[in-house]
Homo-oligomer: A and B are copies of this chain.
Amino acid sequence: MSTIQFSSLANRLRRTEIRELLKLTRMPGTISFGGGLPDPSIFPYEPVKKASIRAVEEFGRQSLQYSPTEGEPFFCEQVAAFMNRQGEKVRPNEIFSVASSQQGLDLLAKIFVDPGSAVIVERPSYVGAIQSFRQFGADLHGVAMDNDGIIPDRLKDKIDDLIHRGNRPRFIYLIPDFQNPSGINLSLKRRKQVLAIAAAYDLIVVEDSPYRELRFEGDLIPSLRSLDPDGRVIQMKTLSKFFSPGFRIGWITAPPEVLEKLIMAKQGTDLCTSAFTSIMTACLFQDGSIERQIEISKQLYAKKAKAMLDALDRYMPDADGLSWSHPEGGMFLWLRLPECIDTTEMLYDAVEKKVAYVIGSCFYSDGSGRNEIRLNYSYPTVEEIDRGIRSLAEVVESRIHEEVTSAHRS
């Protein structure tokens, strides 16, 4: 082949830096704070085995067949029951199954994004969402966060500005609970403010909610969906973070006219979600295995988050501009280094010291965050967390020292 003519979507595709850098970090012996993987040591092997046997013996004819595009009825029924136990009011026929929340993001991009369409995201935001929206040519606009999440005044200004420029945003994309990458929670007051702004401008709000169930400290804050009086919230859930990413199972609730489009888009995308893993999931909800797994995960990740915070306190140098978040749940901790440090350059030193992280700039739609990094604590062991943070602290310390020396020299 000499002349392959690709689409403009294909020409926008880039191997994401995060994934290229992750390859660096897969050297044997390297402690990785990159990725966002659950701890395989607590995977629920026995319950999964039991559910797979049940999926064949009791539901074999459905499990091995095509399922409805909307979702396997048994799955929708069990998910709705779970969501109701979690404080959402939802009926089974409002549950739309997707093969991972990444697929949900792809479907959202399909039905909302034209090349040049404005989409509002948090600064920083989830790299996979940035990637899905960008595939379709979205013009991403980041709005700053503080410790209570996205800043309402800034959100309002951004919307005004976009409307003024004739590019009304297609939706506002938020991760309100234990945001990836920052670990920040959107406060209750802010949730109400964000919804009021969305109502004033009649905008769709996407609530991506993979980590909500993993709260190990503090009080649960009502979801955007449950606070929304006019049905403008699209809520996206996944099994990947609190149970297993190996099933590729998630679900979406959305306003009816949006749901209709999502279902039609899914027909052309993959016809239907796996009946086999949908029915296994339904069995695992029904017998309580998933809720037990959530408890087990929370306990372990609380311990690991504490191990990471302790190690940071113990090993990190005192330096102006060096700070980190204190997560109450989820899988990530966010570290800010002094402005003078470029965390992409620093990664090569870190990998030499056998420790890895994800560079902050991956999570910004505008390339900022060069002095920031995301640290994952769910995957490494407690012992690795201690050892890895010690190595990382040494790297940070010598970088700061170098910068100070070179500043003095110049």
Contacts and interface: CB of A to CB of B under 8 A. Distances in A.
Interface of A: 1-10, 13-16, 19, 37-38, 40, 43-45, 48-49, 52-53, 55-57, 60-67, 99-100, 102-103, 105-106, 109-114, 117, 128, 131-132, 134-136, 168, 170, 202, 204, 230-232, 240, 244-248, 255, 257-258, 261, 264-265, 267-277
Contacts of A62: 246
A267 B4 contact: no
A275 B55 CA distance: 17
Contacts of A170: 5, 7
A117 to B, nearest CB: 7
A44 to B, nearest CB: 8
A168 B40 contact: no
Contacts of A111: 6-7, 9-10, 13
Nearest to A53: B49
A63 B246 contact: yes
A95 to B, nearest CB: 18
A360 B6 CA distance: 32
Contacts of A55: 52
B1 A268 contact: no
Given A117-B7, A257-B1, A49 B52 contact: yes
A243 B231 CA distance: 42
Contacts of A114: 7-9
A268 B108 CA distance: 12
Contacts of A7: 110-114, 117, 136, 170
- So how many copies of this chain end up in the complex? 2
Contact of A4 (B43, B132, B257): B257
17 contacts: A1-B231, A2-B202, A4-B255, A4-B257, A7-B114, A8-B114, A15-B264, A37-B65, A48-B60, A48-B64, A52-B55, A64-B244, A66-B245, A100-B271, A132-B269, A248-B273, A274-B277
B247 A276 contact: yes
A398 B138 CA distance: 56
Contacts of A106: 268-270
Given A117-B7, A246-B275, A110 B128 contact: no
Given A102-B269, A110-B7, A274 B258 contact: no
A67 B232 CA distance: 34
A38 B255 CA distance: 35
B246 A65 contact: yes
Given A10-B112, A112-B6, A275-B246, A37 B66 contact: yes
A248 B99 contact: yes
Nearest to A129: B268
10 nearest CB pairs, A to B:
A52-B52, A10-B111, A64-B246, A246-B275, A64-B244, A13-B264, A248-B274, A246-B276, A103-B270, A132-B268
Nearest to A103: B270
A9 B110 contact: yes
Nearest to A98: B270
Contact of A246 (B117, B136, B274): B274
Contacts of A66: 37, 240, 245-246
B102 A99 contact: no
Given A2-B202, A102-B271, 15 more contacts: A1-B204, A1-B232, A7-B114, A7-B117, A8-B114, A9-B110, A10-B111, A14-B264, A37-B66, A43-B64, A65-B245, A102-B269, A103-B269, A106-B268, A128-B268
